[in-house]
Every structure is written in structure tokens, then in C-alpha cells.
Structure 1
Amino acid sequence: MNKEVRMTAWVRGRVQGVGFRWFARANALRIGELAGFAVNLGDGRVQVVAEGPKDRVEQLLEWLRTGDTPGRVDGVTEIWDTPRGGYDGFEIR
């Protein structure tokens, strides 16, 4: 069973000012069935929140960690939770 999950990821590295949030959104849409957002944080990290089927959320996390991302990813920390809903697609904040 591919249950619905919520993942919050914090991406560190050179990930602001390089189109990272736009690429995160594009990849979430390419993977499909994901809702959430990507936002720049004041400390230089990007926070990505994604809800959807677990295998699809895992694909997005894998891209964040090892994919062809803009800038440079030094590391990703994530937590898993139950979905809260309320997202209209995947947006950039």
C-alpha cells in the first residue's frame, strides 16, 4: 500500500538565488500527485514541504539529494509526518 505522507526537507548549500525553488516545483510536477511548497529561509536554506503518495515523495527527496539540481546541495535533512492537506498544487513561496 502506498500511503499518503508529508515530508518536510531542509536543503543546505548554495540553493538560494539559483532557481532551486523553481526546479523543485518543476520536479514535483513532473513526478506528479504531489502538493506542497518550496520557500527560501533566512539562514540560506530552502525548505521543501511535499505531500502525496510515499513513493512519489521519496522520488522528490532523492532528486533533492542527488539530482541535477541548480546551485550546490551540501545536505538534506527531512522529517516525515501525516499529511495535513490544504495545498493547491505545488507552489513557490
Structure 2
Amino acid sequence: LVPRRAGIPFYSTVTGEVSDGTGLDGAYWCRNLREPVRFDRALNRLRDVGHGVFVEISAHPVLSMPLTDGSADRGGIVVGSLARRSGGMAQLFRNL
């Protein structure tokens, strides 16, 4: 697999910066596993360019609380997608 330019901006929780996607190689993903997660930096970058609605797409919304805490001062909105033992389209539509 070879990384290529992304069609949309990629906000890295490794660096806290925006990536064009070309640097998302094996070394990057190894850093992702070994280094501290800088979710705060990525979230701040997103907020700084005007993003305020966040949808957590995962099997269980473990980041909803940090997203809510990190975006509440600017009126951010956070919704989950699925929930443990309550997945499927019905749960997704309920959250949306």
C-alpha cells in the first residue's frame, strides 16, 4: 500500500497538524500506536477553521465526552453513531 493525496483534509492526532495524506505510511501508523494521542491538538485545529459539528463513527462512542468537553465553549455539537449492543441502522438514525 502506498499513501496518496487525500480528497479531504486529514487532521492527525499524532502531530496535531493537517496532512495531505501522502505521509500516512507504515512509519506514521507505527507512531500512531507508540506516541501519545494529541486529540486536543487535532480538535483545536478543526475548531480554528470553523468546524463545530462532530459525528463519532465507532462501535461505541468513547470519544463523545472528550469531543463535547473540547468543543462546548464554542457551541460544538457532538453525536455518536453506534453503541455497544445497540448497533445497526436504527441506532445510527436515532443519533442523527
- Same fold, TM exceeding 0.5? no
Whichever of the two has the greater Rg, that structure is 2
Kindly indicate which of the two structures has a greater share of residues assigned to strand. Answer: 1
Higher relative contact order by CA 8 Å / sep ≥ 6: 1 or 2?
A: 1
Kindly indicate which of the two structures has a greater share of residues assigned to helix. Answer: 2
> What TM-score results when the alignment is normalised by the length of structure 2?
0.26
